[in-house]
Structure 1
Amino acid sequence: MTAKPVSAKPKIAYQGEPGANSHLACVEAFPDLEPVACATFDDAFAAVAGRAIAPGQRVRRDERADFAMIPIENSANGRVADVHHLMPLASLHIVGEHFVPIHHQLMAVPGASLKTITSVQSHVQALGQCRKKIHELGLKAVIGEDTAGSAHEIAKAGDPTRAALASKLAAEIYGLEILAKDVEDAANNTTRFVVLSREKNWARPKNGPTVTSFVFRVRNIPAALYKALGGFATNGVNMTKLESYQLDGAFTATQFYADVEGHPEDRPLKLALEELEYFCEELTVLGVYPAHPFRAKAR
């Protein structure tokens, strides 16, 4: 019996089915890597970590990947749920970022039309990004696990009353017809992805625009957050993102996620992080990586 050849290509995991926007991001940013579809974010993180992230989860050797392409926020709908919790839990490192302009296509089975469809299915984020078109057509919004998975389900159902919101690639993969193109509400609808790796690989200092991402918890003292963040202002460090979220369902345990411009070895950021650490119970740098060119264009 001839052994099955093993792909020599490094693999990059993403959440969703083939044709998902995360799949597009993988192909666009890393055409030489082999994309690996994962059913959930837990599965995508576990594929790179090489171990279970969720209770009862198992990771087979053939499911493992070298990197993951994970959506972290969208310009229209804000942050992507669960991702902030999973990054520290999986002990993965951010080694890059990628921005993808998102274009949603309204699609259905061959023979369907705008007159026959009565419902549209997609990921909750996609439905939120296309509210105007959904209301204009009077469609019932149905939440699916992801965009490409919804397109796949609509194709299998063969029902001309059901439509999906997904990418052009998904329409091609699942044999659906596009009834309306680029139906997103905002012309500048963009999703930011982070590239995750098992290995810590910080960008070199003084080698172009750099982003540093970290999570922290402040000490339980009055004005701790105000004092902790003061160092970024006094040292002229631009904080481009700051978000809070609860840990383990406790209202008193708040963790913060932040992105700042600069490298930890740059003196201003070094001083700011030292001041932050003084007021923190915990501070973890998730990654130091080159800023994507999209940031300069978006200013």
Structure 2
Amino acid sequence: MHDDANPAAAATVGLPILDEPTGGTRYAYLGPAGTFTEQALRQVAGEGTERIPATDVITALEMVRRGEVDYAVVPIENSVEGGVNATLDTLATGSPLAIVGEMLVPVTFTLSARPGMTMDKVRRVATFPHAWAQCRGWVAKNMPDAVHVLATSTAGAAALLASDEPDPGYDAALSSALAAERYGLTVLAEGINDNAHAVTRFILVTTPGALPEPTGADKTTLVVHLPDNEAGALLSMLEQFAVRGVNLSRIESRPVGDSMGRYSFSIDAEGHVAEERLQATLIGLHRVCPRVRFLGSYPAAAGRRPNLRAGTHDADFRAARAWVTSLLNGAGVSSAEEPLGD
């Protein structure tokens, strides 16, 4: 089946752009307080909004589906570790959700512990998996005997360590400096991420509604399934973007889950569904792929406008369509004569 065969039917809610107060609006986010997600939330949530921490990404997104909140802010991608699988998979299944914005947060980590703990005694370090991946080199060099203990968030690791729990199951936490300070932990080391330029991308998610207006520097997110056992299926899917001049800023495969060897693709494309080239791409995908889920068109946080090649401007598509219409009406010439956009 085709999800969202008509792109407008699964469009996004037009949120007042990111720095406007939206009093009374309810936001869920990957909590607890002190996460990098909370820092991203501050970019979109104005004064008077209700901010509700969720225990994990799935819970935050399901709160939107159940109508318990208006929006959720969750991580989707890290510049070092790649996509956040819980976010990608939850968006790809279940009732439709819509992305209406994205935020970028520079990421730097602090190693913190309870008072009295020293770094030479640390053997178990708790943090979110993506955080651990960004600090593995530092940990291996400075604490070679330390092992990773899984936590649902960076701040969650810090919060439990600061609680009255006699043995939280670990000795130290990797978190933001804000979380270490908020929960009163002793900082053992700062700035320990392996890549000083690491950035995490967060998305603002709601239920489908009216599209945000195109800005000229936009991003469209899709989930696409390929036909089973069809040679060249991936190439055929990618050609739908390439021949229309649509650049992909991210493409990741995820297992469908019902059998081995079946994958879907989570895709970010440059452009807005209001643009002719994106509309033509979605039509092409709908023809050759068994399932296409439209997750929204929204302003790109980096603000970069795509460099369109000749023949892929809106005016080029409109001129070509007008020419074909004239042929059908018996009034056209035998070849296209309009100059290509540049």
- The whole-number CA distance in structure 2 between the counterparts of 1:162 and 1:266 is 53
Is 1:39 paired with 2:43?
no
Q: How does 1:54-73 map to 2 (within 5 A)?
A: 64-73=68-77
Other-structure match for 1:29: 44
How far off its partner does 1:95 sit?
Answer: 0.5
Letter aligned with residue 22 of structure 1: T
Deviations 1:30-51 (A, max 9, x none): 2433321111222111211116
CA contact (8 A) 1:97 1:195 kept: yes
Deviations 1:71-99 (A, max 9, x none): 11111111112222211324110001111
CA contact (8 A) 1:210 1:291 kept: yes
Letter aligned with residue 76 of structure 2: I
Deviations 1:226-262 (A, max 9, x none): 1222132122111111112122341243221111111
CA contact (8 A) 1:104 1:166 kept: yes
More divergent stretch after superposition (22-31 vs 234-243): 22-31
CA contact (8 A) 1:27 1:35 kept: no
Letter aligned with residue 39 of structure 2: L
Is 1:84 paired with 2:79?
no
CA contact (8 A) 1:228 1:278 kept: no
- The whole-number CA distance in structure 1 between the counterparts of 2:273 and 2:304 is 19
Deviations 1:183-224 (A, max 9, x none): 11101111111110113232224x320111111223333312
Q: 2:149 aligns with which of 131, 137, 142?
A: 142
Q: 2:270 aligns with which of 261, 266, 272?
A: 261
CA contact (8 A) 2:223 2:264 kept: yes
Letter aligned with residue 187 of structure 2: I
Q: Classify the secondary structure of the residue corresponding to 2:130.
A: helix
Other-structure match for 2:221: 213
Is 1:153 paired with 2:160?
yes
How far off its partner does 1:276 sit?
Answer: 1.8
Other-structure match for 2:285: 276
CA contact (8 A) 1:203 1:210 kept: no
- The whole-number CA distance in structure 1 between the counterparts of 2:293 and 2:131 is 32
CA contact (8 A) 1:110 1:176 kept: yes
Other-structure match for 2:33: 18
Is 1:197 paired with 2:206?
yes
- The whole-number CA distance in structure 1 between the counterparts of 2:227 and 2:27 is 37
- The whole-number CA distance in structure 1 between the counterparts of 2:62 and 2:176 is 26
Q: Classify the secondary structure of the residue corresponding to 1:225.
A: helix
Deviations 1:10-40 (A, max 9, x none): 1111123111111221123324333211112
TM-score by length of 1: 0.85
TM-score by length of 2: 0.75
- Tell me: CA distance 1:226–1:140, structure 2 relative to 1, closer, same or farther (3 Å): closer
- The whole-number CA distance in structure 2 between the counterparts of 1:202 and 1:87 is 18
Q: 1:119 aligns with which of 121, 124, 144?
A: 124
- The whole-number CA distance in structure 1 between the counterparts of 2:240 and 2:208 is 29
- The whole-number CA distance in structure 2 between the counterparts of 1:126 and 1:294 is 26
Say which structure is richer in strand: 1
Identical amino acids, percent of aligned pairs? 32
Letter aligned with residue 140 of structure 1: V
Other-structure match for 2:295: 286
- The whole-number CA distance in structure 2 between the counterparts of 1:90 and 1:169 is 35
Letter aligned with residue 66 of structure 2: G
Q: Between Structure 1 and Structure 2, whose CA radius of gyration is higher?
A: 2
CA contact (8 A) 2:218 2:303 kept: no
Q: How many residues align?
A: 276
Other-structure match for 2:236: 227
Over the residues paired in the alignment, what is the CA RMSD in angstroms?
2.2
- The whole-number CA distance in structure 2 between the counterparts of 1:67 and 1:27 is 13
